[in-house]
């Protein structure tokens, strides 16, 4: 009995020294809890591109894109948006950001450019085709 108690104490003390981070994070979404992947800072090394409205050329976001301007822009993960000069995301209430399918409009010309979606377990803006374009920085 003394040996098993000592072994249990050794195992718990080692696990207390090295706490494990949760692999999933719970986020409330429409009255239920949605499990999201743990955010990582790996995208800090990605290139920053500018996202502009095609109709009025207003700069909507600065976005950390994995391969720069080489491929087209289909979605914007919220966690990768690094600049919000028109305060589109910043001024939006949290329930609007979490509501799937809600439309996002350009503040200057009022054209709808995206809708909210959950892509690979992460909140994102699914862009409408031809409504925004990408520029270097």
- Summarised one tens digit per residue, pLDDT across range 27-85 is 555 555 555 555 566 778 889 999 999 999 999 999 999 887 788 899 999 989 999 99
DSSP 25-68: EEEEETTEEEEEEPP-SGGGGSEEEEEEETTT--EEEEEEETTT
Residue 89 has a CB neighbour count (10 Å cut-off) of 16
Residue-wise pLDDT tens digits, 77-110: 998 999 999 999 888 888 877 788 889 999 999 9
What distance in Å separates the CA atoms of residue 90 and residue 76, rounded to the nearest whole number?
15
pTM greater than the 0.85 cutoff: no
Other CB atoms within 10 Å distance of the CB of residue 93: 8
């Amino acid at each position: 009995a003394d040996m098993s108690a000592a072994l249990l104490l050794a195992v718990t003390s080692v696990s207390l020294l090295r706490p494990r981070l949760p692999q999933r994070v719970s986020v409330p979404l429409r009255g239920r809890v949605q499990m999201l992947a743990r955010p990582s800072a790996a995208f800090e090394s990605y290139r920053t591109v500018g996202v502009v409205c095609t109709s009025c050329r207003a700069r909507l976001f600065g976005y950390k894109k994995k391969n720069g301007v080489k491929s087209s822009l289909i979605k914007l993960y919220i966690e990768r948006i690094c600049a919000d000069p028109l305060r589109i995301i910043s001024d939006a209430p949290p329930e609007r950001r979490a509501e799937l399918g809600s439309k996002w409009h350009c503040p200057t010309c009022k054209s709808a450019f995206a809708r909210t979606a959950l892509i690979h377990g992460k909140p994102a803006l699914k862009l409408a085709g031809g409504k925004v374009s990408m520029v270097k920085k």
